Chain A
């Protein structure tokens, strides 16, 4: 008997965030490339964005009072789950088009699935979020699927 996933919780499946539109700058690319210790000159100079730059571009820039005391910002896409301890999740990223300074990109996040499984030490809740990043022509530039596990 599971029963951790109430109909109310499951009704969150399909929920999407408001689209987030950002411009790619050389400066932001350089900061990210340097901070990740990338060695490729094209990234260090900001000519092109390295893989995973979208993580920095679309991280939620929240105001200070939206941070918990430990500095975490709450993801408004997520409902409150009955299990709260986050375990290792996974990330899958598809890179469809290169990203350059001056590009305007729009990210939309969707909570695509919530399910449960029994682990060795008890019940586990899984949830999946897909983030699609498109350019102003509507072309998919990045697709990122995040899976998180709660126990």
Chain B
């Protein structure tokens, strides 16, 4: 796989249902109401809807890099932060761009953004090309 600085990773849209979000938090044992109890999330905590869990968005950043790498490389690290909340009902777009290649050691800026283009979670991943 030939990789050049500036290469864009394929983007992917995530549209999480409340069912999926419940199953995700159950897989963790995360009982925080803001993820499944909509009246609580809105009326008590003042959110716009059911809050998509931060680590789930982080997971999507990892997936974006791995889907692009395929068998051509392996993910070494990821660093990201959750900057803004997003909610069930919103489509989250995840993507990235290669910012450096150094003898097969890649640095990739990754992002998750909402439909308005607000960056929800910016990050940087590193990967190594194999073979």
Chain A positions near chain B (C-beta within 8 angstroms) = 28, 31-32, 34-40, 50-52, 55-56, 59-62, 67, 70-73, 88-95
Contact = CB atoms under 8 A, between A and B. Distances in A.
Given A70-B40, A71-B33, A52 B62 contact: yes
Nearest to B79: A92
A72 B31 contact: yes
A56 B55 CA distance: 10
A38 B31 contact: no
Contacts of B67: 39-40
B42 interface: no
A70 B62 contact: no
A129 to B, nearest CB: 14
A50 B63 contact: yes
Given A31-B23, A92-B78, A51 B59 contact: yes
A89 B58 CA distance: 12
A70 B46 CA distance: 13
B79 A95 contact: no
Given A37-B60, A90-B81, A92-B78, 11 more contacts: A36-B60, A52-B59, A56-B28, A59-B28, A71-B37, A72-B31, A73-B31, A88-B83, A90-B80, A94-B76, A95-B75
A42 B74 CA distance: 14
A60 B34 CA distance: 18
Given A31-B23, A36-B24, A61-B29, A93 B82 contact: no
Given A36-B59, A52-B59, A71-B31, A93 B83 contact: no
Contact of A37 (B14, B27, B84): B14
A31 B28 CA distance: 10
Contacts of A60: 29
Contact of A94 (B24, B30, B77, B84): B77
A42 to B, nearest CB: 10
Contacts of A50: 59, 62-63, 66
B32 A38 contact: no
A51 B66 contact: yes
Given A39-B67, A50-B63, A52-B59, A70 B23 contact: no
Contacts of B76: 94-95
B32 A71 contact: yes
Contacts of A38: 59, 63
Given A50-B62, A51-B62, A61-B29, A93 B23 contact: no
A147 B83 CA distance: 13
Contact of A56 (B14, B27, B31): B27
